[in-house]
Structure 1
Amino acid sequence: MKNIKYYLVIGLSAVFTACTDLLDIEPNNKITPNELFNNPNGAKAFMATIYRDLPIEDYMFMPGTSGEGGFNNPTGNIGLLWYANICEEAVQSQWGEQSPGYVIRADYFNHGYETLRNINLLKSIIPTLDIRDSEKKELEGEAAFMTAYVYFYLAEKFGGVPLIKELQEYDPANPGALVVPRSTEYDTWDYVMQQCDLAAAQLPKERSDRRATRWAALALKSRAALYAASIAKFGELAPMEGEAVTKGLAGMKPENAAYFYQHCIDASLTIMTESNHKLYKPNPASPKEAEENYRSIFVNPNQTDGEAIFIKGIVKEGSEFASSLNYFIEPYQTQGQGKMSPALNLVDAYEDYKDLPGIRSDAKVKTRVNDNYSNAGFDTGYTDYIKVNKDTPYDLFNGIAYGDEKKAKDARLWASIILPGTEWKGTKIVMQGGVIQPDGTELYRVPTTVTGKDGKTYYSLGGEKHQVSGFWPGDGTHSMSGFLMRKMISESMPAQYHKTTLDYIVFRYAEVLLNYAEAVCESGLGDKTIAAKALNDIRKRAAHTNEIELTRENVRNERFVELAFENIRIWDLRRWRVLHTLMNNFSHDILVPMLDLRDTNPSLIFVRKTTMGASLNGPNSYSISEYYEDVPRNAINQMIQNP
C-alpha cells in the first residue's frame, strides 16, 4: 500500500476517453500524483470521479438497489419517485403503497467507505504535489467537503460510524489493524461539523465550475447540523433499546440539541449575510408570475440568480449519464409513464390567498359546500358537492368554482403539479376517475361508456386509454391520485429513456432560510425576527402578502410545500421522529374527478378517497427500528449492531 504515494492506478476510462496524451505516459496504467494533477484533464477527471460518487439523491438515484448504494443508477430510475411515495408526497402509480424499509434501505455502507478511501488518498497526495500552496489549500478544502458529505449521509442512515480520517495501509500479517470501531453518533456528527468548517475556511467563494464553494460547505453544514439537532431533540419520540443505544452509537442526548442548532444557525446566517446567494425573483407582481418564477428554478437551475448554491450536472443525452425523468414522470398522453401521482395530502398543504394577518390560510381542497374533508368516497347522502365545469376542472383550484379569486391555491401548487384539465406540451391532460350514473350510483375506475340524461354518450374515464392520463385500471402508467408531477420536468425535453438532461440542485437558498427559521424556532437561539422574516420571504416569493408567526407548525408546513419532491421531506420526517406515527397503517389520500350524469347538463364533482379504493397494495407502516439501518458485520469487524 505504500506505493500509493507514488502511483495512482487509473480506473477512469469513461472519463479519460478523450485524454489520449495523458494515457500515453509510461506505463499506460499508472501515473504519478504530480503527473495527474499537473495535467488539467487528469486533475479534472480524478475530482469528477469523487464528485460523482458523493451520495447525492438526484434524478439518477434508485434506492433499494445495490452496486453504488443506489447512486448513478444506469437504468435512469429516479429516487424522488420512490422517496416521495413513502411519505405523504405521492403514490407510485405502478406499485402503489411502498414498504418504507425496502425503499430507504440501500447497500451504501461499503460504497461510502470506498468513496472515503479515494478521498483519503487525495488527502495523502496533496502535500506531495508540485503546485502552489493556495491550490493545495483549495484541494484540502474540497477533500474536507467531500468527507463531510459522505459522513453526513452515513450518519443519517446508521448513526455513529467508524471515523477513518487518513489513508490506511494494509498489512497481510495484521489485517486486524484496519479495524476501526464505531464512533458515537455525537462524535460522528461533530466530525461532520469540523470538516464543514475546514472546507468553508479553505474553499473559494466563487467558482466557474460545478465544484464546491465556501457557500456549498456552509449549506451542507446547515442541513447536517439541523438533522443532528433534531435527532437529539426528538429522539425520545421514538424510544429504542439495545447496546448501540446505551453506548451512544445510535441516538443522542436531548442536551446535545442546542450545540447542533447553533451550528445550523451560524452556518445559515453566514450564507444569508455574507454571500451573494438570494431567493430567485422574490417579489412577484401576481400569483401567475410567482408560478413561472418558481418553476423556472428547476427547469433552468443554472440561471437562478443566486438561488442555486450547489448543482450536480446531468449530462450526455442518450447515455446512461442522462436521466429518464421526463419518461417516468410525464403524462401518458404525452408519451410518459405517469408513475408519479402527487397525493392529496400534499395538495391539501398548499394554502389559498385569503392571506389573513398573522395566520396561514385555509389549505384543504374544498369539494363540498359544507365539506368535512372526509376521504370516505362518494356518498349519495350529500347533495352539496361543488359543481365544476367539465371542460375546466382546474377551476376547483383557482377560486372560480367558489366565486372567490382569493381562494385560488398557492402558485407553487400550479408550478409543481399537473392538475386535471391543465395543459402540458399543448395537450389538455384528462384525469377523470369515473361517473355518477343517472341513477345516482358511482362507477369508479371502470373503462366503459354511459348514456347521460341528455342522451349523449360519455366515457366513464374521460376517453379511450390513449386519450387520458389518469385512473386507468390495472395500468402503472396513469395517475392514481388525480394529479401528476410538473416540478423538475421540462416541456422542451422528450419523454424518452435517458433523454432528460436537467441539472440537479443539491442545495438552494430557500432551504437555508428554512433551516435557519426552524433552528431558531426549536432552540430559542438566534434572532427570531430574522427567522420570521426568512420564513415570510419565502412565502412572499410565492405571492403571499401576509406575515405569519414563527411556529413549528408554520415552519414544517412551509418546508412541505416549498421543498416538495426534492428528496428532503422523507428525511425531515425521519429526523423529527414522526414517520412511524404518520406511516402507521397509512394509505395516501387522493382526489377523484367524477362526471355527474344525474343532471341533464353534466358537470364535474370531486370525491375524496384513499388509495385503498384503487385496489393498490397497502396500507403500510413504518417501524421505529427502521430509523437506523443495520451496519454490515464480517468476521473481522464485529461492529455493534443498531437496534
Structure 2
Amino acid sequence: MKRYQLIITMLIAGMLFSCHKLDIKPKSILTSDVIFGGEGGIDAYMADIYRKLPIEDFTYRPGGRDGQSGFNLHHEWEHFWHSSAVTGESVGPYGGMDIGGGFGYWPYAEIRAVNNLMQELPKNSANFTDTRIKELTGEAYFCRAYFYFAMAKRYGGVPIIKTVQNYPEQSIEELQVHRDKEQDVWTFIGDDLDKAFELMPATSPRGRANKYAAAALKSRAMLYAGSIAKYGSVNFVAGEARTQGFVGIPATAANGFFTKAWDAAKLVEGHYSLYQKDADKVKNYADAFLDQTSPENILVRDYSIASNTAHSWDATFSPRYMTADGDSRSYPTLDFVQKFITLPITNADGTPRRFDKLEDLMAGLEPRLLATVYFPGASLRGYQFDTQRGLYTSFTGTAAAEVAKPADQRTNRKVSADENTLYEGKRISGITGIKPNGSPDKTTRTGFYVRKYIDYNRPQNQCGLFQSTQSWIELRYAEVLLNRAEAAAELGNTEDATTCINLLRTRAGATIAGSVSTNDVRLERNKELAFENHYWWDLKRWRTADIVLDNSKFRGLMPYYVFNEGKYIFLNEPEIYERNYFFDKKYYYEPIPGGELGKNPNLFPNNPNY
C-alpha cells in the first residue's frame, strides 16, 4: 500500500471568501490545528475532499494523460474523450479508444483524508457543536462511499480501510492489506451511505451533500451491485480473482441489492422533483441542465471564471462557427437518435422523402430528443446547423440502393471539404456540415451535434475554451426515478416501474407507457441520461458491452440538396470515418494498477486476463 502522509492541501481562499465554495483550486497547506480549529479550516478541508471526488464531469477525461489517472488532469478542454464517444451515443476523434484498459485510479490518499476527518473530529469537540460534528461525520461517510464506489465499479474487490494508516508507527507488513471480496465492498458502500443518511441534515449548502444525496448515490451503487450479481456470470472471463470472490457477486445476492436500491430511491421521493417550469417542453428540458434553481438537482459541481475552474463544454461541442474558439469533435450517432424514433426519411417504396427545408425533419419529434441533440436545420446563437453533406444534381431510385454504391459510382453526388465550393450558385456542403473523410475533424461526422448542457443564452464571444460556467449535475431526481424503476422491474414490481417511467415520459413530451419491462427501463435510461457518462457503466454492469461494441460501426444522418428539385433528402449512411469500436470481455473489470501491485503483493491475484 501507499505510505500516506498527513499533509493535506487546503483552500485558504475558501476560508477568506466563503464557507461553502467548493470550486476553488488549492493554494496552500493548513496544519491540523487550523483545520480542526473552527468552521473556516474544516470547510477548506471538506472543499479539498469534494474537489477530489471522482465525479465524471465536464473536466473529466477517461484514461487521463500520459498514463496518469483520469480526473481533472490539465487537458480539461478535451471533452470529446468522454465515454459517450466510444459507446455509440456519439463518435469522437479516436476510433476504438480503449477506456477500459485501466485508469490507474487508486484514491487511498483521499480515503485517508476522510478517515482522518472521522478520527480527529471527536478530539476537537470543543471547537464544534455536537450537531456539527454529527453532520460532518455523515458527510465523511458519504465521501468515503463515493471513493469506494468509483473503485468497486472498476476493480471489484479492493481493500476496505476504515482507519488512518501511519508509517512508521505501523510496519510495512501491517500496511500491505489484502483485497476484500467484491460483495463485501458493495455492502460496505451501502453501509457507509446508510450512516451518511442517518447523520446528515435534509438540506445542505450548494455543492455539498445532504442525506438525500446519500440516498440517491446509494440507489445508484446498489443498482450496480445488483446487476453484477444477476448478470455477472454472463460474458465474463474466469480467473483466480473470480474464484476467490474478488470479482463477481453470487447471483443469490441480486435481489437484496435491488431491494436496497429501490428503498434508497424511495427515500428521495417528496424532497426533489422533476424540472417543469416551462410549458414549452423542448425549452423546459434544455433548461433543466442550465437553471441553477432547478428542484431536480440533488448534488452539483459549480464552476467559475474567477476561481479558474471554468470548463469548455460550449466550445468543444459546438462548431467554431457558433463559438469563440475551440472545435467540436464528438457527435451523436443516428443509432442513438433512433432509440427515440425511426426517423421518417424514406417513403414506403424506399425512396427518400423530400423536404423543403432541413428543419422540416424535426416536426413531431419528441421534445426531449430535440433538447438533447441539435438536428440539421436547428439554430444556436442566431446561426443554423446547415449540416449538408453534399449535393445531388438529380436523384432517382431508393435510398438503400444509393448508399450501397461505392463512392465513385454515386455519379450524381458532389461533396466538398470547402463549404465555399458552389455548384451553379448553390453551396455543396454546409458551414457546419459533414466533410469528406480526411478533412479536418471540426464539424459533425454524423449530421448531429450535442445540445444537452449547451448554454444557448451565452453570447458567442463568451463561448471559448475555459469560459463555460454551467454546473455539472452529478445527482438529479430523474436518475433516481430511473434507478427506482430499474430496481422495481428487476424485482417484478412493474407497476411502480411504470409509474416512475411515466413521470419522466410526461416531462419529456413522450407518449405514456402502458407497462414497462426491464428492457424498456434500460431504453428510457439511455434516452434520459444521454451524454451524462452513465451509458458506459450501464453497458458494463448489464454485461452487454461486448455485444453492443462487438467490432461496431455507427451511422449518421446525411442531408443532401437535390439540385434539380430544389429539395432536401436524408440518407442513412456510415459516419464518415467508419471507425470500429470494440470491447474485450476482460474490460468488465480494470486491472489493479501495476504500481500498487508492486508495493503490495497482497493485492494479487490481479483481475482476470491482466
Q: Same fold (TM over 0.5)?
A: yes
d(CA) in 2 for partners of 1:193, 1:68? 29
The alignment's TM-score, normalised by the length of structure 1, stands at 0.84
- Correspondence list, 1:340-379, <5 A: 340-350=330-340, 363-370=341-348
**Deviation at residue 547 of structure 1 after TM alignment:** 3.0
d(CA) in 2 for partners of 1:133, 1:29? 27
SS in 1 for 2:233: helix
**Deviation at residue 32 of structure 1 after TM alignment:** 3.6
1:325 partnered with 2:320? no
d(CA) in 2 for partners of 1:161, 1:451? 61
Is 1:76–1:322's contact at 8 Å kept on the other side of the alignment?
Answer: no
Residues 84-106 of structure 1, C-alpha deviation per residue, up to 9 Å, x if partnerless?
111121011x33x232x246631
1:174 partnered with 2:140? no
d(CA) in 1 for partners of 2:101, 2:427? 40
**Deviation at residue 458 of structure 1 after TM alignment:** 2.2
In structure 2, relative to structure 1, the CA distance for the partners of 1:80 and 1:479 (3 Å cut) is closer
Q: Which residue in 2 is equivalent to 1:42?
A: 41
1:227 partnered with 2:228? no
- Correspondence list, 1:121-520, <5 A: 121-129=116-124, 130=126, 131-171=128-168, 174-272=171-269, 275-281=270-276, 285=279, 289-300=280-291, 302-304=292-294, 306-317=295-306, 320-335=308-323, 336-350=326-340, 363-370=341-348, 384-389=351-356, 392-398=357-363, 408-438=364-394, 441-443=411-413, 445-447=415-417, 456-462=424-430, 467-471=431-435, 473=437, 474-493=439-458, 494-520=462-488
Is 1:119–1:143's contact at 8 Å kept on the other side of the alignment?
Answer: yes
d(CA) in 2 for partners of 1:133, 1:204? 13
Partner amino acid, structure 1, of 2:288 = I
Q: Which residue in 2 is equivalent to 1:71?
A: 71
**Deviation at residue 636 of structure 1 after TM alignment:** 3.4
Q: Which residue in 2 is equivalent to 1:11?
A: 9
d(CA) in 1 for partners of 2:304, 2:178? 39
**Deviation at residue 13 of structure 1 after TM alignment:** 5.8
Residues 235-288 of structure 1, C-alpha deviation per residue, up to 9 Å, x if partnerless?
12213211101011111111110110010010011112xx42111118x75xxx
d(CA) in 2 for partners of 1:326, 1:450? 28
In structure 2, relative to structure 1, the CA distance for the partners of 1:438 and 1:602 (3 Å cut) is same
1:615 to 572, 577, 581: 577
Supply the RMSD in Å over aligned alpha carbons: 2.5
Number of corresponding residues: 568
d(CA) in 1 for partners of 2:414, 2:186? 50
**Deviation at residue 44 of structure 1 after TM alignment:** 1.4
d(CA) in 2 for partners of 1:265, 1:179? 37
**Deviation at residue 520 of structure 1 after TM alignment:** 1.1
Is 2:422–2:428's contact at 8 Å kept on the other side of the alignment?
Answer: no
Q: Which residue in 2 is equivalent to 1:82?
A: 82
- Percent identical among aligned pairs is 30
Q: Which residue in 2 is equivalent to 1:58?
A: 57
The unaligned stretches of length 5 or more in structure 1 are 21-27, 351-362, 372-381, 399-407
d(CA) in 2 for partners of 1:116, 1:450? 58
Partner amino acid, structure 2, of 1:386 = R
1:628 to 589, 592, 609: 589
1:588 partnered with 2:554? yes
d(CA) in 1 for partners of 2:371, 2:170? 61
**Deviation at residue 609 of structure 1 after TM alignment:** 1.1
**Deviation at residue 29 of structure 1 after TM alignment:** 6.0
d(CA) in 1 for partners of 2:343, 2:537? 26
In structure 2, relative to structure 1, the CA distance for the partners of 1:385 and 1:19 (3 Å cut) is closer
Is 1:58–1:79's contact at 8 Å kept on the other side of the alignment?
Answer: no
SS in 1 for 2:457: coil
d(CA) in 2 for partners of 1:61, 1:190? 27
d(CA) in 1 for partners of 2:14, 2:450? 37
**Deviation at residue 528 of structure 1 after TM alignment:** 3.4
SS in 2 for 1:507: strand
Residues 503-549 of structure 1, C-alpha deviation per residue, up to 9 Å, x if partnerless?
1111111111111111111122xx43232111111101112343331
Is 2:332–2:449's contact at 8 Å kept on the other side of the alignment?
Answer: yes
Is 2:298–2:476's contact at 8 Å kept on the other side of the alignment?
Answer: yes
SS in 2 for 1:237: coil
SS in 2 for 1:298: coil
d(CA) in 2 for partners of 1:202, 1:232? 29
d(CA) in 1 for partners of 2:428, 2:63? 37
**Deviation at residue 232 of structure 1 after TM alignment:** 0.7
**Greater mean deviation of Cα atoms: 41-50 or 489-498:** 489-498
Residues 582-639 of structure 1, C-alpha deviation per residue, up to 9 Å, x if partnerless?
1001011111001123x3x32111111112xx235x3121011011111021143342
